[in-house]
Amino acid sequence: MRGQPPRVITVALSSTSGQRIFKDALAVRNTVFRDEEHLSTRPDQDEYDELPSATHVVVYVNSEPAAAARLLLPSERVARTRGGHFGLPLEQLLDLASLKSAGMRPAESGRVAVLKKYRKSEVIVWLLASIYWASRNTGVNAWVAAANGETDVPRDARLIARVASAQQLDSPVRVHALAPSSPPANPAAAFYNAAHWELARQSRFSELPLPGVLKLFTQKMGARLMGSPLYIPEFSRWAYPLCAWLNEIPRSTLEQFDALAQSAHRAP
C-alpha cells in the first residue's frame, strides 16, 4: 500500500436505501464493532442512518472499504420530533444547551470504524480529512462526539479523565449527562495495567496513555473533553464527550488535509 494512496470517497446521502456507499459503511462498522472488537452482537444500524441530515464517509483502499464514519448535521426538524437543541443522537445522553449558548452549531461525528489491518496506516488521516471536507460549507462550526474509552472499568474511566485533565485537554464548554451511568457489575476490559497505576499513585498523570480514539481526536482535530465519562451499554464501554471547533484544528493537520485533497477521488 505504500506509495499508492488510498482512494477516498465522501458522499452526502439524502436517501441511503440501496446506495453502495451506505452499504459499505455499514459493512465496515459491523466488521469492526461486532467481529473485530466484539463490542456488540447486533447489526450496527439505527434510525439516524437514513435521515437527510446524515453524511456517510467511506475510505476505500484499492476498491476495498477500509474505514467509515457518520456525520450528522444539526436538524431543527429532528430536534422538534426527538427533543434536544440540535437533533443529534448525543442529546439522548447529554444536555447540549451550553453549546448553543457558546455559539456552537455542531455536527456529530460518530460510528468511526477502521478495519484492524489499516489502523496504523494513513487511512485514519484520510478518514479525518473526509469528515472535515464533508463539514465545510454546511453552516456547522464545531463537532461533537463520544470517544470510545476502550474500557468498561469505572476506575479506569475516572483515571482516563484525570489524565486528560493533566494534559490540558478539558474544554471550557461543559455539558452534563441526562442520567447517571450504570456500568456492569463485573467489568472485564481494563485499559490501565499495574505499572500505569503505580504512575497514578505517584500523581504522574501526564505520563499515562490515553485511549486511541481519544488521543487521535484531541491531537489531530483539537478536540477537548466537555464532560465526565459516560457508560454506553450499547457498546459495553465508557465514552468521553468531545467537542472541537472547526477553526481550531491544528495547522499541521490542515496541511495534511490540503496535501491529501490534491489526490482525493470522490464519488459524484
What average pLDDT does the segment 125-139 reach? 92
> Regarding predicted confidence, which is higher, 1 or 92?
92
Alpha helices in the chain (DSSP H): 20-30, 76-82, 97-101, 123-135, 154-166, 194-201, 212-221, 251-261
Torsion, Cα of 174, 149, 132, 86 (10° steps): -40
Per-residue pLDDT of 215-264, as tens digits, reads 999 999 999 999 999 999 988 999 999 999 999 999 999 999 999 887 76
Distance CA 86, CA 72 (A): 10
Distance CA 33, CA 107 (A): 22
Percentage, residues of the chain above pLDDT 70: 91
Distance CA 241, CA 1 (A): 34
CATH architecture entry for 7-261: 3-Layer(aba) Sandwich (3.40)
CA 45 to chain centre: 16
Select from 66, 21, 22 the least CA-distant residue to 267: 21
Q: Where are the domains of the chain?
A: 7-261
Per-residue pLDDT of 30-85, as tens digits, reads 999 999 988 888 888 899 998 989 999 999 888 889 999 999 999 999 999 988 99
Longest dimension (CA), the chain: 56
Distance CA 220, CA 213 (A): 10
The burial class, CB within 10 Å (0-12 / 13-18 / 19+), for 256 is: middle
